Amino acid sequence: MDSTENRIEPIWTTIDEKTRYPIYIGTDIIPEFGALFKERMPRCSRALLVTNQTVEEVHASKISQISESLANLGVDLIVEAIPEGERTKSYWGLGMLYDFFAEHQLDRQSVIIAMGGGVIGDLAGFAASTFLRGLSLVHIPTTLIAQADSSLGGKVAINLARLKNIVGGFYHPEMIYTDASFLQTLNARELRAGLAEVVKYAVIMDEELFDYIETNVENIIAKDPDVLEKLVRSCCEHKIAVVEADPEERTDRRAILNYGHTIGHALESLYHRYLHGEAVSVGMVAASYLAIKTELLAPTDAERQSKLLSRIGLPTDALGVLIDPLLQPMLHDKKRRGNTLRFVLPTKIGATTIKDIPKKELPDLLQYLVEKRIFSPSEDATAIDEG
């Protein structure tokens, strides 16, 4: 067969003069991975694939395919699987990876392949960015959050105890390889959590995508491969456009991606029962109410968003969560500036604005969220949850 047949056309992203790389998106495209990897990194003879134990088990055949195709091209693949979960995105997990890298005597030609969800991408990306002052990195994202969002944009990080993504940097991969067929094995809850980020893109910048999700909720939940690939592709295109315009979040352009995340991060750092996407879902509903309160958004648009999130099966309130403890992590949020907090607030479905809210106004605004029954008042002692 002619090797130029069936080539997957990548989307190229250009971050600066030195940073330009391809993003391959498709369904069942693992067989083509080896050749495209070698073409991109011809000098690589050793790669270390970092994954977690779940992905290693569920996708053993994909890993073998990658290993064999790389071996045929002269690349030796080592696979290391670490325990799953957000808690590995920590000093502990980072130390584990550095030890593997040292043990396998990785050198400057070695490549780290991060295969997994956002936890693996952020953690292995951060490890790659610092080991030997930077090893080449390839992302193979396997969750909807990772495919639609976290593998793109170059942010790598670990958490400290209750502070999410507080230690990190910007580090772009050599390529991103997004095979939407990984999503077929995601459990329903993880799929729904990923859809929160997809809805985020629709609300902040694409009303047509919002309509598409509304029309296709059942197909999405049923994991229709074409629909999933389309969602991933749309989100990638949006994220690339935003990141290219503001790679290091120096202007308001990239900040819009934090829609739903100020309150979402506070919620997930305090209450571990929330998945990232679930917390973001509540955060988007809360932000839409703040937008109503500050007269930026029509209540009908906020209701439309809440209705879609609840059809997907995502939480639209966090009754039982007390309002006061939420304030603390928000005051420490990375996006704070002096005495104001930055909120990304929608102005309609498909458009947003950034609003700086003085810290002293925050308690009142949060009180409004209590009135709207998104959070519980702090006197409600029955609702305490230590997470």
Ligand X SMILES: NC(=O)c1ccc[n+]([C@@H]2O[C@H](COP(=O)([O-])OP(=O)(O)OC[C@H]3O[C@@H](n4cnc5c(N)ncnc54)[C@H](O)[C@@H]3O)[C@@H](O)[C@H]2O)c1
Max distance between CA atoms of the chain, in angstroms, equals 71
The interface region with ligand X, picked from 60-68, 139-147, 334-342, 362-370 by CB under 6 A, is 139-147
145 lies in the binding site for ligand X (CB under 6 A): yes
119 lies in the binding site for ligand X (CB under 6 A): yes
274 lies in the binding site for ligand X (CB under 6 A): no
Residue 148 CB-density burial (10 A; 0-12 exposed, 13-18 middle, 19+ buried) = buried
54 lies in the binding site for ligand X (CB under 6 A): yes
Closest contact distance (angstroms) between CB of 104 and ligand X is 23
The interface region with ligand X, picked from 47-55, 291-299, 303-311, 328-336 by CB under 6 A, is 47-55
Please name the residue ranges forming H helices in 223-360.
Answer: 225-245, 252-255, 261-270, 276-293, 299-312, 323-331
Task: Determine the residue with CB nearest ligand X.
Answer: 118
- Interface pick for ligand X out of 44, 111, 120, 322 (rule CB under 6 A): 120
Place of tokens 């500036």: 337
CA–CA separation, 81 and 296 (whole Å): 47
Please name the residue ranges forming H helices in the chain.
Answer: 33-40, 53-58, 60-72, 91-103, 118-130, 144-145, 188-205, 207-221, 225-245, 252-255, 261-270, 276-293, 299-312, 323-331, 362-371
173 lies in the binding site for ligand X (CB under 6 A): no
CA–CA separation, 369 and 288 (whole Å): 10
78 to 107, contacts with ligand X by CB under 6 A? Answer: 84, 86, 89
Helix (H) / strand (E) containing 251: none
323 lies in the binding site for ligand X (CB under 6 A): no
11 lies in the binding site for ligand X (CB under 6 A): no
Q: 35 or 163: whose CB is closer to ligand X?
A: 163
142 lies in the binding site for ligand X (CB under 6 A): yes
Q: 52 or 306: whose CB is closer to ligand X?
A: 52
**Angle formed by the axes of helices 188-205 and 207-221, nearest 10°:** 170
189 to 218, contacts with ligand X by CB under 6 A? Answer: 190, 193
The interface region with ligand X, picked from 48-56, 287-295, 351-359, 363-371 by CB under 6 A, is 48-56
Q: 94 or 186: whose CB is closer to ligand X?
A: 186
Nearest to 113 by CA among 97, 133, 132: 97
332 to 371, contacts with ligand X by CB under 6 A? Answer: none
Collapsed DSSP state (helix, strand, coil) of residue 354: strand
Closest contact distance (angstroms) between CB of 63 and ligand X is 12
- Interface pick for ligand X out of 153, 247, 264, 346 (rule CB under 6 A): 153
Task: Tell me how many residues contact ligand X (CB under 6 A).
Answer: 29
Q: How many residues does the chain have?
A: 387
Place of tokens 């067929």: 181
Q: 156 or 292: whose CB is closer to ligand X?
A: 156
- Interface pick for ligand X out of 26, 34, 93, 116 (rule CB under 6 A): 116
247 lies in the binding site for ligand X (CB under 6 A): no
Residue 19 CB-density burial (10 A; 0-12 exposed, 13-18 middle, 19+ buried) = middle
- Interface pick for ligand X out of 35, 58, 327, 365 (rule CB under 6 A): 58
**Alpha-carbon distances, residue 160 vs 97, 166, 167, 209 (angstroms):** 17, 7, 8, 35
Point out which residues bind ligand X (CB under 6 A).
Answer: 52, 54-55, 58, 84, 86, 89, 116-120, 122, 142-143, 145-146, 149-150, 153, 155, 164-165, 182, 185-186, 190, 193, 276
